């Protein structure tokens, strides 16, 4: 399974992961289990892990944490995670559902939650936390504009933000960019990405953490 390869997971119970990637339409046609029960559990796990992550690492009011959590668990976010995990390569759909492209985003979002439940049941809470925090949340810059957030925050206090490309490596078709961000000529963060824009977003996120002091301690590495 592509998603397990990406996450470097060696399953103890492969059937759990097969179930997590089985839509009810396929399950009905082949008399097997779908991901629906796992999705229920995975939804709760994802909300808990992100709630704890925000509470432990960000000095936010309740309303701010609720808003940020909503952004990180919404359908668009889950689809970004699904793209990273290449969920569609392994997803089992019934013949009718394959043609139902309008429901694609909902199915992918549900499958990500089911997969998280499978990881929890197979590998434990520490592992699923590591996947969510260290793998999935690294994709968040693709749908949250941290550069705009940072620019707005710095303008209110009269500080100047500048981005500097410090490294560019790899062949033309597969480059990796490294960018640092400076606030009033002080380096506040560094980011890497397949494009300069992605690297800048990562750097802006680090700068927001430092400047706003929203992360008094660096997020725990749960690997």
Of the residues 43, 68, 97, 122, which is catalytic?
43
Please report, for residues 9, 18, 86, 126, the alpha-carbon distance to residue 223 in angstroms, rounded to integers and kept in the order given: 12, 24, 21, 8
Asked about 122 being catalytic, the answer comes back as: no
End-to-end CA distance of the chain: 21
Backbone angles phi, psi at 173, to 5 degrees: -85, -5
Q: How far apart are CA 43 and CA 92, in angstroms?
A: 20
* CA neighbor of 146 nearest in space, from 177, 174, 178, 181: 181
Contacting residues for 31 by C-beta, under 8 A, at least 6 apart: none
95-98 contacts at long range (C-beta below 8 A, 24 or more positions apart): 95/25, 95/29, 96/25, 97/23, 97/25, 97/26
Of the residues 39, 90, 113, 122, which is catalytic?
113
Residue carrying the six token digits 């179930």: 19
Asked about 29 being catalytic, the answer comes back as: no
Active site residues: 43, 113
């Amino acid at each position: 399974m592509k998603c397990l390869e990406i996450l470097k997971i060696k399953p103890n119970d492969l059937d759990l992961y097969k179930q997590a990637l089985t839509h009810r339409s396929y399950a009905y046609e082949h008399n097997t289990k779908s991901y629906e029960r796992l999705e229920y559990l995975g939804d709760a796990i994802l909300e808990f892990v992100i709630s704890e992550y925000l509470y432990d690492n960000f000095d936010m009011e309740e309303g701010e944490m609720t808003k940020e959590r909503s952004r990180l668990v919404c359908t668009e976010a889950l689809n970004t995670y699904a793209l990273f995990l290449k969920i569609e390569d392994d997803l089992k759909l019934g013949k009718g559902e394959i043609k139902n492209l309008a429901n694609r985003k909902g199915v992918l979002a549900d499958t990500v939650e089911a997969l998280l439940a499978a990881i929890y049941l197979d590998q434990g809470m520490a592992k699923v936390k590591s996947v969510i925090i260290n793998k999935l949340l690294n994709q968040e810059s693709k749908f949250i504009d941290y550069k705009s957030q940072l620019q707005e925050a710095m303008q209110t206090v009269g500080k100047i933000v500048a981005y500097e490309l410090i490294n560019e490596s790899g062949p033309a078709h597969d480059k990796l960019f490294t960018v640092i961000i400076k606030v009033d000529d002080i380096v506040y963060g560094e980011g890497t990405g397949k494009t300069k824009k992605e690297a800048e977003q990562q750097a802006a996120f680090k700068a927001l953490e430092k400047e706003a002091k929203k992360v008094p301690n660096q997020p725990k590495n749960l690997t």
